C-alpha cells in the first residue's frame, strides 16, 4: 500500500510523493524522503520533525499562481499585465 512521503531539501518540504516504501525508487540527489501522512509543501523540517507552517500568518501570504508566474519575468523586460494601462 502506498504511503505519503515528504521530499525535503534545505529543511523545507518541497514536494509530496506516494510510494510503497519498497519499490526501486529513491529521492533525487540532495533530497531526503520522510514518511509523514500530514506533511504539506512548504512545511519546515527542523530537528528531524515536520513543522507545519501557519497559513494565517502575514509572512505566509496566500498562493497566487499569476504572481508566481510573473516573478521570473521581472528582469526580462516584459511588462506584467497589471502595469499595462
Contact (Cβ atoms closer than 8 angstroms) between residue 25 and residue 3: no
pLDDT greater at residue 29 or residue 83 = 29
Q: Which position has the higher pLDDT, 48 or 1?
A: 48
**Is the separation of the CB atoms in 16 and 7 below 8 Å?**
yes
Tell me the pLDDT band of 67, cut-offs 50, 70 and 90.
Answer: very low
- What is residue 59's predicted lDDT score, i.e. its pLDDT? 60
Q: C-alpha cell of 83? A: 502595469
How many other C-beta atoms are found inside a 10 Å radius of the C-beta of residue 67?
A: 11
Q: Which three cell numbers stand for residue 29?
A: 540527489
Q: Does the pLDDT of residue 9 top 90, yes or no?
A: yes
Amino acid at each position: 500500500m502506498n504511503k505519503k512521503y515528504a521530499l525535503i531539501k534545505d529543511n523545507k518540504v518541497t514536494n509530496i510523493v506516494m510510494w510503497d516504501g519498497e519499490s526501486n525508487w529513491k529521492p533525487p540527489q540532495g533530497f531526503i524522503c520522510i514518511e509523514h501522512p500530514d506533511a504539506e509543501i512548504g512545511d519546515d523540517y527542523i530537528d528531524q520533525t515536520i513543522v507545519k507552517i501557519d497559513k494565517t500568518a502575514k509572512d505566509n501570504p496566500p498562493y497566487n499562481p499569476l504572481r508566481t508566474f510573473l516573478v521570473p519575468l521581472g528582469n526580462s523586460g516584459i511588462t506584467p499585465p497589471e502595469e499595462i494601462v
